[in-house]
Amino acid sequence: MAHAVKRLFPSVKIAIGPSTDEGFYYDFDIERPFTPEDLEKIEEEMKKIIEADIPFVRKEMDREEAIRFFRDQGQSYKVELLEEIKDERVSLYQEGDFVDLCRGPHIPSTGLIKAFKLLKVAGAYWRGDEKNKMLQRIYGTAFPDRKELKRYLNFLEEVKRRDHRRLGKELDLFSINEDIGPGLVLWHPNGALIRKTIEDFWRNEHLKAGYQILYTPHIAKLNLWKQSGHWDFYRENMYSPMDIEGIEYEIKPMNCPFHIAVYKSSLRSYREFPIRYAELGTVYRYERSGVLHGLLRVRGFTQDDAHIFCREDQIEEEILRVLDFTIFILQTFGFDSYDIYLSTRPEKFVGSEEHWDRATEALKAALEHKGLGYEIDPGEGVFYGPKIDIKVKDSLGRPWQCSTIQVDFNNPERFDVTFRGHDGREHRPIMIHRALMGSLERFFGILIEHYAGAFPTWLAPVQVGLVTVADRHVEYAQKILQEMVDNDLRVEPFFDNEKVGYKVRQGTVRKIPYLVIIGDRESETGLLPVRKRTGEQVGPYKLDELIARLKAEISERRGDLSI
């Protein structure tokens, strides 16, 4: 692809072009943005290169020689990359008259490429830093044959249909307003109602599971974050401190120091353990504008956070409880498939290696006790402890990082957290950090795409739409509406003076689970036919029977839309 671009746009500067899980991309510095017509021309040029069956030839050069080579060609981005490479010798690949810096390996020749497609163009800052120049990034993909390529392109169309940003606008769920700021989410009434339903479920289940609910501030003195280690190890994701009456304060990136402060507000005994604190706590993290993406990557979000204080002999039991709780929560929202990773000590960490090893072994033992398959993710633990990460798979089989369980020996030491043991002495508790959904914003975005906006009835902002055939049916429909509302159903009237077909289409486009159409027959018999959003007709039901069936479906949180 880079060769084709260079042929068509000789003055272009070439930056970075890696492979990805989905295909590949390459960044270019060019005088004007690429157009869809440019992509078509590039594809045609690529086909010519493939037909020529040009071999890929690997060459090695001294690093300084390679710098001179690319500098002579005016390829400043390659020069910058080479200046950061520590190896004395580097590899280049030549394909016809085109030479690129690359580790390789490559296929023997271009003629072996069978099926490819350039997908889109996007802006991308050099090195992902908005202080650098904006480059043009071309995304593409390739497969061994056209059948696999077609299957993948169909998959991309389905992904586009489910895009939570598009559905968020169509279903009036949320928005992000540039006047307020990128990465800051406005929850509209429909989305806020779904969020309330999720939060109510979350709080009720946590209370049943022995957690205590907390609320904590959004800012704290900067010294708190220095004590916790966040200022040293997480500063690039934090905002600049603010001055309040001569004291520096920081907007919170995490909730954990606040939960520690609540714990330390009283003397603690071993008899109280485990102590489980939970909070839907809103935090703020600095994300570069280039990586922000709808609800999936934001700057302000609400974690379903919890911290468990326990004795060392209780660690495995508590991790087992959290694993069970996590799987219950995920399955309730319709996620039955997931991958599990055990993330180990990173290069930069706090605490002793002995503590890290003990924490890692505790997580490993819990996973093996549950018989859960997992992979080791080396060096991906957080700076204060190892963790279990659970990635759910949505209805398209895409993995999403949601749940995390982290064992922390270090914060209790940093904050001098203690309890009185049965021997009358002071001991140090263990702290388990955990989030089940991760963040409400990200989880909601995943839910939108998982269900393509057609939420199960218990989550749907409107559960039943009442459609009248004519004005004379409104009075009877009002009685039905009131009865349903009195039974805690979320109902919307479609009583306006429009054709029935139009009103049904309105309800269907908004993905309302059930529509009840009320005309002369329904008013006379009291029997109500129900139209599912799939178009299937069920019933008719008497009003009390319909309400009972709907309430049963909602209370059981079924997602099969069958009543």
**For helices 474-486 and 543-555, what crossing angle results, to 10°?**
40
Work out the pLDDT band at 561, boundaries 50, 70, 90: very low
The predicted structure's pLDDT at residue 349? 82
Please state the rounded mean pLDDT for residues 408-416: 89
Q: Which of 78, 387, 442, 473 is catalytic?
A: 387
| Structure confidence by residue, pLDDT tens digits, 419-467 | 999 999 999 999 999 999 999 999 999 999 999 999 999 999 999 999 9
Q: Which of 75, 136, 303, 314 is catalytic?
A: 303
Please state the rounded mean pLDDT for residues 286-305: 91
Query: Is the pLDDT assigned to residue 148 strictly greater than 80?
Result: yes
Alpha helices in 101-188 (DSSP H): 146-162, 164-170
The predicted structure's pLDDT at residue 558? 67
Structural domain ending residue among the three candidates 387, 421, 451: 451
Let me know whether 399 and 482 are in one domain.
no
Work out the pLDDT band at 358, boundaries 50, 70, 90: confident
The predicted structure's pLDDT at residue 350? 77
Is 433 part of the annotated catalytic residue set?
A: yes
Mean pLDDT (the chain) is 93
| Structure confidence by residue, pLDDT tens digits, 306-332 | 999 999 889 889 999 999 999 999 999
**Range of 489's domain?**
464-555
- Residue 115 near residue 142, CB atoms below 8 Å: yes
Work out the pLDDT band at 563, boundaries 50, 70, 90: very low
Q: Which residues contact 532 (CB under 8 A, 6 or more apart)?
A: 513, 514, 538, 561
- Residue 209 near residue 274, CB atoms below 8 Å: no
The predicted structure's pLDDT at residue 446? 95
Q: What is the DSSP string of 539-550?
A: EEEEHHHHHHHH
Is 387 part of the annotated catalytic residue set?
A: yes
Structural domain ending residue among the three candidates 404, 425, 451: 451
Q: Which of 75, 256, 321, 463 is catalytic?
A: 256
Let me know whether 356 and 447 are in one domain.
yes
Please state the rounded mean pLDDT for residues 66-82: 94
Q: Which of 285, 364, 473, 533 is catalytic?
A: 285
Let me know whether 91 and 13 are in one domain.
yes
Is 75 part of the annotated catalytic residue set?
A: no
224 assigned to some structural domain: no
User: Domain with 347 in it: what CATH number?
Assistant: 3.30.930.10
Let me know whether 119 and 10 are in one domain.
yes
247 assigned to some structural domain: no
Domains: count for the chain: 3
Let me know whether 182 and 117 are in one domain.
no
Is 479 part of the annotated catalytic residue set?
A: no
The predicted structure's pLDDT at residue 339? 92
The predicted structure's pLDDT at residue 290? 76
Work out the pLDDT band at 351, boundaries 50, 70, 90: confident
Please state the rounded mean pLDDT for residues 224-232: 90
Is 307 part of the annotated catalytic residue set?
A: yes
235 assigned to some structural domain: no
Is 406 part of the annotated catalytic residue set?
A: no
Alpha helices in 284-345 (DSSP H): 315-332
Is 303 part of the annotated catalytic residue set?
A: yes
User: CA of 105: how far to CAs of 56, 318, 350, 561, in Å?
Assistant: 9, 47, 38, 50
Q: What is the DSSP string of 413-443?
A: HHTT--EE-TTSSEEPPEEEEEEEEEEHHHH
Structural domain ending residue among the three candidates 426, 451, 476: 451
Let me know whether 321 and 437 are in one domain.
yes
